[in-house]
Structure 1
Amino acid sequence: MLPSPSSSPRAVFDNCTNLPISLAPVNPPKFLPTPPRDKAAKRSAHQDGPLPKRVKLSFDDESSEGSNSDSDAKSENTSTNRRKTQKYSLYGTNSRSIMVPINRYGYFPQPTRPILQSFVSSNKSDVFRCQSTDINTYLTLPYACSYTHGAKQGHLPILAVATEQGSIHLLNTSQRRDWDVEPQRAVIQAHNNGIFDIKWNNDDTLLATCSGDQSTHITCPITTTPLHALRGHTSTVKCVAWDPCHHSLLSSGGRDGNIYIWDIRMAGEQGDDGGPVLSPAISIIGAHEAPKARGRPRKGVPTPRGITNLLYPDADPYGLISSGSFDGILRYWDLRQPTNGRTSKTVKTKAPPVLYSSPIDPTTLHGSRRSRGIIALAGGIGPTAGLVFGLGADSRIHTYTLPSLAAKTTSYMHKNLQGNSFYVGLSMSPCGYWLASGGTGALGSNFLFDVSSATSSLSATRNQMGVELRGQIGEVGALDWAENSLATCADDGTVRVWRPDIERYKSCMEQPDEKRWDWSWTVDDVE
Structure 2
Amino acid sequence: MAPSPDIPSMAVLSTFVSSNKADVFKCHSIDEQTFIAPPYACSYSHGAKRGLTPHLAVATEQGTIHILNTSKREDWDAEPQRTSFQPHANGVFDVRWSLSDSLLATASGDQSVRITTLASSVATADRTLHVLHGHQGTVKCVAWDPSHDGDILCTGGRDGSICLWDLRAGERRLDNGSLAPVLTVSKAHDDLAKIPKSKSRGRKLVPNAPLKSITHLLYTDVHPHGIVSSSSFDGIVHLWDVRLPTASPTKSSRSTKPPRPAPVLTSADPTTAADTRRPRGLTTLALGSGPTAGLLYALSNDARVHTYALPTLAPLSGAAPGADPYAFADPRMQTNSFYVRLAASPCGRWLASGSVVDGVAGRAYLFDAAAAASARRAWEVGRSSSSSLGAGCTNTGVELRGQMGEVGALDWADGILATCADDGTVRVWRPDVEIARRCAEESEEMKWEWSCASA
TM over 0.5: yes
> Does residue 275 of structure 2 align to residue 374 of structure 1?
no
Structure 1 pair 232–473 and aligned structure 2 pair: CA distance change class (3 A) = same
SS in 2 for 1:150: helix
Give the structure 2 partner of residue 336 of structure 1: 243
Give the structure 1 partner of residue 267 of structure 2: 358
Question: Which moves more between the two structures, 445-454 or 170-179?
Answer: 445-454
**How much does 1:270 deviate?**
7.6
After superposition, give the CA deviation of every residue in 1:204-245 in whole Å (9 maximum; x if it has no partner).
Answer: 000000000011110012234101111111111111011111
SS in 1 for 2:35: coil
Q: 2:373 aligns with which of 454, 469, 494?
A: 454
**How much does 1:404 deviate?**
1.6
Q: 2:102 aligns with which of 205, 209, 222?
A: 205
Q: Residue 374 of structure 1 contacts residue 392 of structure 1 at CA under 8 Å; is this kept in 2?
A: yes
- Describe how 1:117-516 pairs up with structure 2 within 5 A: 117-222=14-119, 223=122, 224=124, 225-247=127-149, 248-267=151-170, 268-269=172-173, 276-292=177-193, 298-337=205-244, 351-359=260-268, 361-409=269-317, 410-441=326-357, 442-452=360-370, 453-454=372-373, 456-458=376-378, 461=389, 463-516=394-447
How many Å separate the matches in 2 of 1:271 and 1:521?
53
Q: Residue 142 of structure 2 contacts residue 153 of structure 2 at CA under 8 Å; is this kept in 1?
A: yes
How many Å separate the matches in 1 of 2:260 and 2:101?
30
Question: Which moves more between the two structures, 473-482 or 365-374?
Answer: 365-374
Give the structure 2 partner of residue 6 of structure 1: none
Amino acid of the residue matched to residue 230 of structure 1?
A: L
Question: Which moves more between the two structures, 506-515 or 436-445?
Answer: 436-445
Amino acid of the residue matched to residue 244 of structure 1?
A: P
After superposition, give the CA deviation of every residue in 1:103-128 in whole Å (9 maximum; x if it has no partner).
Answer: xxxxx688532211100000000000
Amino acid of the residue matched to residue 454 of structure 1?
A: A
SS in 2 for 1:449: strand
Structure 1 pair 202–349 and aligned structure 2 pair: CA distance change class (3 A) = farther
**How much does 1:319 deviate?**
0.8
Q: Residue 337 of structure 1 contacts residue 349 of structure 1 at CA under 8 Å; is this kept in 2?
A: no
Question: Which moves more between the two structures, 470-479 or 215-224?
Answer: 215-224
SS in 1 for 2:327: strand
Q: Residue 111 of structure 1 contacts residue 450 of structure 1 at CA under 8 Å; is this kept in 2?
A: no
How many Å separate the matches in 2 of 1:338 and 1:126?
46
Q: Which runs of 5+ in 1 are unaligned?
A: 1-87, 92-99, 101-107, 340-346
How many Å separate the matches in 2 of 1:391 and 1:151?
24
Amino acid of the residue matched to residue 293 of structure 2?
A: A
**How much does 1:293 deviate?**
6.0
Question: Which moves more between the two structures, 283-292 or 127-136?
Answer: 283-292
How many Å separate the matches in 2 of 1:181 and 1:238?
34
SS in 1 for 2:154: strand
Structure 1 pair 270–172 and aligned structure 2 pair: CA distance change class (3 A) = farther
Structure 1 pair 338–427 and aligned structure 2 pair: CA distance change class (3 A) = closer
How many Å separate the matches in 1 of 2:216 and 2:355?
17
Amino acid of the residue matched to residue 80 of structure 2?
A: P
After superposition, give the CA deviation of every residue in 1:232-275 in whole Å (9 maximum; x if it has no partner).
Answer: 11111111011111221110001111001111111154887xxx
Amino acid of the residue matched to residue 136 of structure 2?
A: T
How many Å separate the matches in 2 of 1:152 and 1:355?
30
SS in 2 for 1:132: coil
TM-score normalised by length of structure 2: 0.85
Structure 1 pair 353–303 and aligned structure 2 pair: CA distance change class (3 A) = closer
Q: Residue 222 of structure 2 contacts residue 310 of structure 2 at CA under 8 Å; is this kept in 1?
A: no
How many Å separate the matches in 2 of 1:157 and 1:254?
29
**How much does 1:375 deviate?**
1.1
Structure 1 pair 514–419 and aligned structure 2 pair: CA distance change class (3 A) = same
**How much does 1:435 deviate?**
0.5
Give the structure 2 partner of residue 80 of structure 1: none
Q: Residue 38 of structure 2 contacts residue 60 of structure 2 at CA under 8 Å; is this kept in 1?
A: yes
**How much does 1:383 deviate?**
1.5
After superposition, give the CA deviation of every residue in 1:320-356 in whole Å (9 maximum; x if it has no partner).
Answer: 11111111011111122289xxxxxxx9875443111
TM-score normalised by length of structure 1: 0.74
Give the structure 2 partner of residue 8 of structure 1: none
Structure 1 pair 369–349 and aligned structure 2 pair: CA distance change class (3 A) = closer
SS in 2 for 1:448: strand
Q: Residue 161 of structure 2 contacts residue 214 of structure 2 at CA under 8 Å; is this kept in 1?
A: yes
SS in 2 for 1:411: coil
Q: Which runs of 5+ in 2 are unaligned?
A: 198-203, 247-255, 318-325, 381-388
How many Å separate the matches in 2 of 1:251 and 1:400?
22
SS in 1 for 2:13: helix
Amino acid of the residue matched to residue 357 of structure 1?
A: T
How many Å separate the matches in 2 of 1:478 and 1:299?
34
CA RMSD of aligned residues (A): 2.3
Structure 1 pair 458–306 and aligned structure 2 pair: CA distance change class (3 A) = farther
Q: Residue 195 of structure 1 contacts residue 210 of structure 1 at CA under 8 Å; is this kept in 2?
A: yes
Give the structure 2 partner of residue 41 of structure 1: none
After superposition, give the CA deviation of every residue in 1:3-41 in whole Å (9 maximum; x if it has no partner).
Answer: xxxxxxxxxxxxxxxxxxxxxxxxxxxxxxxxxxxxxxx
How many Å separate the matches in 2 of 1:221 and 1:422?
29
**How much does 1:457 deviate?**
3.5
SS in 2 for 1:337: coil
